Amino acid sequence: MPVGAPSLYNPPGEPNAADAFMRLPREWLKECDDKHREICAATNDKTQLPTRLVHLKSWQPKIIDSATIVVPPEGVRYIAFSHKWGKMPEDALTTKANLPARNKVIPKKSIPPSFADAIAITKALGCNYLWIDCLCINQGEDGDFAEQAVSMQAVFSNAYCVIAAASADGAVHGFLKRDIESHPLRAVKVGSVYFSAVTNDFSRDVLQSPLNTRGWVLQERALARRTIFFTANQMYWECGDGIRCETLRKLKQ
């Protein structure tokens, strides 16, 4: 269950809301895997992985060198995280100095809310590997950003899926929290007709979101074969087949 999800997605009298929140992204992925293979397939070599990944097989995440992963013929599934840094805590950053320790475990205090949410969602989607720039690229003057930046295209185009924290203004804010009253599954009754309490507005929720003010986000969205956007109002799914909403509507492009 994602961090905070039970209280946010399981309002009184709606016992299926939390489960629906978990199942819908998985169903989007399954449908895309089954029906969109030609248009949503990875564009590069399946064995080409980011230099480092966050390993989530245990309850204590750690950073591993992808060269140590035994890659099966079908490739390795990993999630890439698209987010706005904001006022990033210094202890959240991986550096050349703290990398050896993080190869054993990433301290819980060094995982800001947005990273914790991304970890929870990645595990919920059945993936054991997650790529977060702050954790997987050594930061600072002696870091390796320049070296890693040249392979950024492959990082996002080869990712099994991209998680985009559209509503979070920074890593310390998280992206799973939102008002229960605005949950898309909560309907408003007018006479004998029920209406969603949330309007489907991809432009407002995604294109005009805090995330979209970040310089790299356009490239990340263009390169990703499918993305789950977590916004202030609802989740959106985007792949080669179009955009779908948490309200179960498909938007015209």
Instruction: State the pLDDT at residue 218.
Output: 85
Residue 50 or residue 176, greater confidence: 50
pTM comes to 0.85
Provide the β-strand partners of residue 131. 80
The whole-number pLDDT of residue 129 equals 96
The predicted-structure confidence for 92-143, as pLDDT tens digits, reads as follows 999 999 999 999 999 999 999 999 999 989 998 989 999 999 999 999 888 8
Q: How confident is the model at residue 228 (pLDDT cuts 50, 70, 90)?
A: very high
Distance CA 76, CA 91 (A): 29
Span between the terminal Cα atoms of the chain, in Å: 32
3-state secondary structure of 17: helix
Q: Tell me what pLDDT residue 7 has.
A: 34
The pLDDT assigned to 219 comes to: 87
196-225 pLDDT, tens digit per residue, is 567 899 999 999 999 998 878 888 998 999
Residue 1 has pLDDT above 50, yes or no: no
Least confident window among 23-32, 154-163, 195-204: 195-204
Are 198 and 234 in contact, with CB atoms under 8 Å apart?
yes
Task: Name 71's Cβ contacts closer than 8 Å, sequence gap at least 6.
Answer: 46, 47, 49
Q: Which long-range contacts (CB under 8 A, 24 or more apart) does 24-28 make?
A: 24/235, 24/246, 25/121, 25/124, 25/125, 25/228, 25/235, 25/237, 26/124, 26/125, 26/126, 28/226, 28/228, 28/237, 28/239, 28/244
Question: Over pLDDT 90: what percentage of the chain?
Answer: 56
> What value does the mean pLDDT take over residues 150-155?
88
Structure-model confidence comparison of residues 81 and 5, the more confident one: 81
Backbone phi, psi, residue 175, to 5°: -135, 5
Element (DSSP H or E) covering residue 189: strand 187-190
